[in-house]
Amino acid sequence: MTVKLKKTVPAKATPITVVDRAAFQALAPGLPEATRAWLATVGFVGAADSHALVPGADGRLAQVFAGVGHVAHPFALSSLPLALPAGEYRLDDAGLALQAEAAAMSWELGGYRFDLYKPAKREPATLWLASGADAERGLALAAAIAATRDLVNTPAEHMGPAELAGAAKALAAQYGAKYSETVGDALLKKNFPSIHAVGRASMRSPRLIEVNWGNPKHPKLALVGKGVCFDTGGLNIKPGEGMRQMKKDMGGAANALGLATLIMALKLPVRLQLLIPAVENSISGNAYRPGDIIKTRKGLHIEIGNTDAEGRVILCDALAYAAEGEPDLVIDLATLTGAARVALGAQLPALFAKHMDTARDLVDLGLKLDDPLWHMPLWAPYHAGIESNIGDIVNTGKSPLAGAINAALFLEDFLPAQQDWLHVDLFAWNDAPRPGRPVGGEAQTLRTLLAYLEQRYSA
């Protein structure tokens, strides 16, 4: 852990003076002349994600000036842990007062590296913060985000359906939750035929992972995460470049596990049901085929237009099962469509919601928390594009237009009309580095959804 909490922060730690451009302009005239001259020499003006090392009279590091965008930014200090000299630091009272949650989370994630296979070249610098609930919450958020990233970053060789189940089982044990899984041909016996159909071609058995936690008297929340641990595309095989990052196709499941972790750690007053259909979409003699008709738990028959549109096929059984428990709310998280990425890019997950006011609240909350998502419509007239001539529904649209909407409409068919539901089509990946967000797996909308749930289910 790169952040340490203590009631009294050690005075010997090197002070960090946090400023933005305006605060630095106000502070600069009162600084010692030598310090002011040094900062002018190195060009420090308080720009976000910039810093300046200030030496003392003995030539040793005496102070750090750090520029931030604003005091609540979740990655305010993330540029520092791997840039500053190794050692211990503290926040100086002379600068802006960062929110403790943002300070703890941003520093901890600034030191994040996926080093399972390649040892880190150096240890991050350490930040001392005053202990308190806000700082502890920041560390809890950082831990859940880091765990989510680790799951996505782990190669499929070491993160198949069984390993994903192991992560869920460990989480359940940590918080005293009930764990179960339905594996292989047992999926057929327990009426999860579409999950079985997608995963049956792999040597690694498909499964439905389930975790239940909470007080039975509290409102029920069903959380569903797409767990395609590797996606070849099936018989409609992806080209090599399209397959390169498909270890991340379980990013929805990883994010669902991260959100479930925070729900349990923070003891939200909900009765949580976490469901992860976990499969590997592989190719073998018994792989499901284009043109096949797959029966689902709900009884609807899916015509397979393309085996590379497998995520919605496994999610439909999980969503139908979730709805049987009559939850107050269903949320599914899935790396579902390339169309959402074409429309919104890597940083902006697509949100589909039953209720317009809920969608607006979530978009506003995401912008406020710097954990954005963007509302897309469940446009009912497009449903004609996913209707089949020989089945009830087809897993691909009749044209490439509105692909993310078609996928969302497909999922909606497996929930009762009155069921409140949020569908998040996310990327779960950083394609370019930013402070605290290295290239690789990412937790997206996790903080926004948590804040929304806290508002919705406030005690």
What value does the mean pLDDT take over residues 264-278?
98
- Same domain assignment for residues 111 and 160: no
- Same domain assignment for residues 116 and 241: no
- Same domain assignment for residues 262 and 322: yes
Residue 388 lies in a domain: yes
Residue 133 lies in a domain: no
What value does the mean pLDDT take over residues 296-321?
98
Phi, psi of 234 (to 5 degrees): 70, -150
- Same domain assignment for residues 60 and 103: yes
- Same domain assignment for residues 184 and 332: yes
Among residues 18, 5, 27, 75, the alpha carbon closest in space to that of 47 is found at: 18
Residue 130 lies in a domain: no
Secondary structure (DSSP) of 341-399: HHHH-SS--EEEES-HHHHHHHHHHHHHTT---EE----GGGGGGG--SSSSEESS-SS
Query: How high does pLDDT run on average in the chain?
Result: 97
- Same domain assignment for residues 298 and 380: yes
CATH code, domain with 231: 3.40.630.10
- Same domain assignment for residues 425 and 309: yes
Domain extent, residue 168, equals 141-456
pLDDT for position 417: 97
pLDDT 10s digits, 195-205: 999 999 999 99
Give the 3-state secondary structure of residue 5: strand
Share of the chain above pLDDT 70, in %: 100
pLDDT for position 110: 98
pLDDT for position 79: 98
Query: What's the total number of domains in the chain?
Result: 2
What value does the mean pLDDT take over residues 266-294?
98
pLDDT band at 459 (very low <50, low <70, confident <90, very high): low
Instruction: Kindly provide the b/e burial profile for residues 197-226, where b requires at least 16 CB atoms within 10 angstroms of the residue's own CB.
Output: bbbbbbebbbbbbbbbbbeeeeebbbbbbb
- Same domain assignment for residues 368 and 262: yes
Of 95, 124, 153, which closes a domain?
Answer: 124
pLDDT 10s digits, 333-360: 999 999 999 999 999 999 999 999 999 9
Residue 59 lies in a domain: yes
- Residue 238 among the catalytic residues: yes
pLDDT for position 458: 87
Share of the chain above pLDDT 90, in %: 98
| pLDDT beyond 70 at 159 | yes
- Same domain assignment for residues 333 and 255: yes
- Same domain assignment for residues 8 and 100: yes
What value does the mean pLDDT take over residues 90-95?
95
What value does the mean pLDDT take over residues 89-108?
97
| pTM exceeding the 0.75 threshold for the entire prediction | yes
Residue 211 lies in a domain: yes
What value does the mean pLDDT take over residues 132-157?
98
Given 204, 248, 312, 447, the catalytic residue: 312
What value does the mean pLDDT take over residues 256-266?
98
pLDDT band at 388 (very low <50, low <70, confident <90, very high): very high
- Same domain assignment for residues 27 and 148: no
- Residue 312 among the catalytic residues: yes
Given 137, 238, 398, 456, the catalytic residue: 238
| Sole residue written with tokens 């069903």 | 222
Q: How far is CA 184 from CA 177, 191, 258, in A?
A: 23, 12, 26
- Same domain assignment for residues 341 and 203: yes
Residue 135 lies in a domain: no
